[in-house]
Amino acid sequence: MRGVVDDSGRAILPIEILCPKYPIGVRVDAWIDTGFTGDLVLPQSLIDDLQLEITGSIDGVLADGSAIELSTYHCELDWFGKRRSLEVIANLGQTPLLGVGLLLAKELRVDYSNLELTLTLKPKRARS
């Protein structure tokens, strides 16, 4: 997968969200957020537009240390050519955030000199 680095230095990866309202998928640009250990955060406005099904809520801690309860929703992604089902977290922000949960077993390379990003599957190492 290929992404870009914007003028502010943010690493951005286009992702394809699959949902009943848009079965062929909706492309959104997600900021890579290595400080977020979950999979994906979507703005509540996008969740409402996609008509995602609510699944519950979780307690979270914001960067300023304050506690907050956040709603969760069922979502599917086209992730490396396969459908991946996951629970996304809603927030009141404007930008999707892609977390470490979706980066596990992947290699992320951010080239700030060329403003490019690549995310590839990491081949499994043979055990000796």
pLDDT tens digits for range 29-55 = 999 999 999 999 999 999 999 999 999
> Topology of 2-121 in CATH?
Cathepsin D, subunit A; domain 1 (2.40.70)
pLDDT tens digits for range 84-100 = 999 999 998 899 999 99
- CA dist 107 and 112 (Å) reads 16
CA atoms within 13 A on the CB side of 6: 10
First-residue to last-residue Cα distance in the chain: 30
Between 60 and 18, residue with greater pLDDT: 18
Six-digit token pair at 16? 């394809």
Percent of the chain with pLDDT over 90: 80
**pLDDT in the model for residue 127:** 63
In 23-108, alpha helices (H)? 44-50
Q: How confident is the model at residue 128 (pLDDT cuts 50, 70, 90)?
A: low
| Mean predicted lDDT score pLDDT of the chain | 93
